Chains A and B, each alone.
Chain A
Amino acid sequence: MRYLTDRKRAERKGASGTGTEHHWYMSVSAVALAFLIPTFLYIFGHALGHDHATVKATFGNPFVAILTGLVLFVSMQHFAKGAQLMIEDYTQGSWRRGLIMLAYSVAYVVTATGLWALAKLAM
């Protein structure tokens, strides 16, 4: 009989060397987004098509600004890790490393740009 738990056996296994961390992060961010996305879709969909002053006022609201910031940060991390999984499935070597770097870079740039815009709109 082995006293090692399932988790202990899974740790540091797999090509990633990080066990179940990637999968667990996707589950955590998925649940977070399940709560964030419906409200965000309503706010964004409602604001789209309105004039500049209305859009500025909408995203200047503290609740909307924080919600949008959270959606951007969590969804971009969720995207980067999801894209990484796809890249790892279909490519290898330098292409794999390069494309993963590109996916994470795009995610960070989108997050940073969106956060700057939110900060500017709040002022």
Chain B
Amino acid sequence: MADPKPIERPISPFMLGQYYRFQMTSVSSILTRITGNALIGSFILGVWWLLAAAVGPDYFAVANWWLTSWLGDLIFTLSLLGIWYHYLAGLRHLYYDAGHGLDIETAEKLGWVIIIGSVVLTVLTLIIIQF
């Protein structure tokens, strides 16, 4: 007979910080998820700006003012950092999936490559888009 009470099935527990100390591998992994999901906000803002441009000059002025304000600049600079981080972490995922870089030393080195690489690529992008 079926159990009338719903069974509490286990979900993924939060282990980081409570049971495990922070390590490059776990922190760089959770940051991939955080950046990827946070980027929806950047896309909503970007599409709003594009929509405003399609509607007309008056509405575009409103959206453009917000996106080029100090808050907009801050959000899009952070978005750029997020997208480059997610980009490099995604490439690492593909590398992992192919069966490479899974030993601790290489995995930790790759974590630093992602973090430093994302900052470098963000600065480079900010410089390049000025021209």
Chain A interface size range: 35 or more
Tell which of B37, B51, B94 touches A30, judged by Cβ atoms closer than 8 Å: B94
Q: Residues of B within 8 Å of A, CB-based: how many? A: 38
A66 at the interface (CB under 8 A from B): no
The answer to whether residues A59 and B125 also contact, given A41-B80, A86-B37 and a CB cut-off of 8 A, is no
The answer to whether residues A90 and B36 also contact, given A55-B53, A59-B53, A114-B47 and a CB cut-off of 8 A, is no
The answer to whether residues A72 and B36 also contact, given A49-B68, A91-B11 and a CB cut-off of 8 A, is no
A10 at the interface (CB under 8 A from B): no
A18 at the interface (CB under 8 A from B): no
Among A34, A114, A116, the most chain B Cβ lie within 10 Å of the Cβ of A114
Of B17-25, B85-93, B104-112, the one touching chain A: B85-93
B33 touches A86 (CB 8 A): yes
A79 touches B43 (CB 8 A): yes
Seen from chain B, the residues whose Cβ lies within 8 Å of a Cβ on chain A are 6, 9, 11-12, 33, 36-37, 39-40, 43-44, 46-47, 49-51, 53-55, 57, 60-61, 64, 67-68, 76, 80, 83, 87, 90-91, 93-94, 97, 125-126, 128-129
- 15 additional A-B residue pairs with CB within 8 Å, beyond A79-B40, A89-B11: A27-B94, A30-B94, A34-B87, A41-B125, A44-B46, A45-B125, A48-B76, A79-B37, A83-B37, A86-B33, A110-B43, A114-B47, A116-B54, A121-B50, A121-B54
